[in-house]
Amino acid sequence: MGASLKKGATVNAVAQLYGVQPWQIYDWRKRARQAAQPSKTATLVPVHVTEPDQAKTEAKQGCSVIIEAQGTRITITGVIDAIVVRTVLECLAR
């Protein structure tokens, strides 16, 4: 699809070069534009802050997870709970 966006390129020529139909390239370009648009509705996730159990946090090492999707960047640091990461990913997928 990227080749079809270059200056002077035509969709028909790019489609022929890669052995696909021109409508496929138009469809891919449309989907890329739609994915780049921000979501019209925001989904909020409830947050509950609690004091960590000191014995559990001392034994584990902290780390960082960076999630980038649809123009949004989310960084989770410290002791990372898999359920939290899954919840964030599910919300971003909506």
Tell me what the mean pLDDT of segment 74-88 comes to: 83
Statement: the pTM of the whole predicted model exceeds 0.75: no
Same domain, 54 and 31: no
- Same structural domain, 67 and 93: yes
Name the helix (H) or strand (E) containing 18.
helix 11-18
The CB density around residue 4, as the number of other CB atoms within 10 Å, is 19
Residues 58 and 93 in one domain: yes
Question: Which pLDDT belongs to residue 54?
Answer: 63
Number of domains composing the chain: 2
The whole-angstrom separation of Cα 90 and Cα 24 is: 28
Q: How confident is the model at residue 4 (pLDDT cuts 50, 70, 90)?
A: confident
* Same-domain status, 52 and 89: yes
pLDDT tens digits, 56-76: 555 556 788 888 877 778 888
Q: What is the pLDDT of residue 56?
A: 57
For residue 63, which of 41, 85, 44 has the smallest C-alpha distance? Answer: 85
Do 27 and 56 reside in the same domain of the chain?
A: no
Question: What is the residue range of 6's domain?
Answer: 1-37
pLDDT single digits (tens) 5-59: 788 888 888 888 888 888 898 898 888 888 777 767 767 778 888 877 665 555 5
Q: What is residue 15's predicted lDDT score, i.e. its pLDDT? A: 87
